[in-house]
């Protein structure tokens, strides 16, 4: 830990060292301090998955993670998974399949799906449903989200 009131980690590939009181939650650090608002606050209780980010490549609920715990680690948010121009294959597939409606849960799903496909490039439908089971969506009934992930896995 670089300094007692700071946390030092790689954020979307870049080293950062924001000030961070010990009780700060990662979601608050990202949204309020670092102004990365793509990560959404849906419940603050780890129930909805809207705040999912990757910590060392693993989907993690940022609302249940003390920010100090990512010291020395690597954090990727939806902003970091988005190319400078255009969309990632998962993002493109979500758009083409209508897997967004209100869009509030979407960053969490994209983050979760991206991690799944990195770990398992050709998941079965059951594996996809299992991977996204921690993300709630109230608009789509999940069908188009599952189809979008399947299509992204198929490279279409």
Partner 1 sequence: MASVSESPYRLLGRRIPYVEGPLKVTGRAEYTDDLQRPGMLVGRLLRSPWPHARLRSIDVTAARAVPGVHAVLTGDRYPTPFGVLPITHDETAIAVGKARYIGDIVAAVAASDERTAERALSLVRFDVEPLPEHSDPRMGVSKVDEPIHARGLAGSNVQKEVVQHFGDVDQAFARAAHSVRVRGTFAGVTHAFTEPMATVAEATPDGRLTVYSATQVPHYLHRALSEVLGLPMHRIRVIKPEVGGGFGGKSDPLPHEIVCAALAIETGRPVKILFDREDVFYTNHGRHPTQNDVRIATDADGNLLAYDIEALIDGGAWSSFGTVTTYYNGVLSMGPYRVPNFRYRGRRVYTNRPPSGAMRAHGGTNIRYTIEVALDRLAEEIGTDPFDLRVRNALPPDSTTINQFRITSSSFLECLSAVRTASGWDEKFRKLPYGRGVGLGCGFYISGSNSPIHFTPKMPQSTVHLKVDMDGGIAVHSMQADIGQGSNTLLAAIVAEVLGVDLDRVHVQRVDSDVSPIDLGSYSSRVTFMMGNAARRAAEELKERLLAAAAELLGRPAASLKVGHERFELSEDPSVGVPFLEALHRAMETTGALTSSGSYQTDPRGGAFKGAKAGTAPAYSFAAYVAEVEVDHETGEYRVEKVWAGFDCGRPLNRLAVEGQIEGSIHMGLGQVLGESMNYRGARLFNPSLLEYKIPTPQQMPEVEILLVGRDDPAGPFGAKEAGEGPLIATLPAVGNALYDAIGVRFTELPITPDRVLRGIDRRHAEGRGWKGR
Binding stretches for partner 1 (CB under 8 A): 35-45, 47-48, 50, 77-79, 82, 87, 90-91, 94-98, 100-107, 110, 128-130, 132-133, 136-146
CA angle (156 as vertex; 123, 79 as ends), nearest 5: 80
Q: How far is the CB of 2 from partner 1 (least distance, A)?
A: 25
Minimum Å distance from CB 79 to partner 1?
Answer: 6
Q: How far is the CB of 77 from partner 1 (least distance, A)?
A: 7
Q: Which is nearer to partner 1, 40 or 115 (CB)?
A: 40
C-alpha 148, offset from chain centre: 16
Q: Which of 40, 64, 36 is nearest to 50 (CA)?
A: 40
What is the C-alpha to C-alpha distance for residues 43 and 24, in angstroms, rounded to an integer? 16
Residue 139 Cβ, how far from partner 1 at the closest point, in Å? 5
The CA-to-CA distance between both ends of the chain, in Å, stands at 43
- Give whole-number Cα distances, 27 to 91, 102, 127, in Å: 22, 21, 27
Rounded to a whole number of angstroms, the minimum distance from the CB of residue 131 to partner 1 is 9
Please, which residues bridge with residue 25 across strands?
A: 66
Cβ(149)–Cβ(113) under 8 Å?
Answer: yes
- Closer CB to partner 1, 71 or 139, in the complex: 139
Smaller CB separation from partner 1, 48 or 70? 48
Which one, 8 or 82, has the nearer CB to partner 1?
Answer: 82
Q: Which is nearer to partner 1, 45 or 58 (CB)?
A: 45
């Amino acid at each position: 830990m670089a300094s007692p009131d700071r946390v030092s980690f790689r954020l979307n590939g870049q080293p950062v060292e924001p000030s961070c009181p010990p009780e700060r939650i990662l979601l608050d650090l990202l949204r309020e301090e670092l102004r990365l608002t793509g990560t959404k606050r849906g419940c603050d209780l780890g129930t909805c998955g809207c705040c999912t980010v990757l910590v060392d490549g693993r989907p993690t609920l940022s609302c249940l993670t003390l920010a100090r715990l990512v010291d020395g680690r690597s954090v990727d948010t939806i902003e970091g998974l988005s190319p400078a121009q255009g969309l990632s294959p998962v993002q493109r597939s979500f758009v083409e399949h209508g897997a967004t409606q209100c869009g509030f849960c979407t960053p969490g799903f994209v983050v979760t799906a991206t991690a799944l496909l990195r770990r398992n490039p050709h998941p079965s439908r059951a594996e996809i449903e299992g991977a996204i089971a921690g993300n709630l969506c109230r608009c789509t009934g999940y069908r188009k989200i599952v189809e979008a992930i399947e299509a992204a896995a198929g490279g279409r």
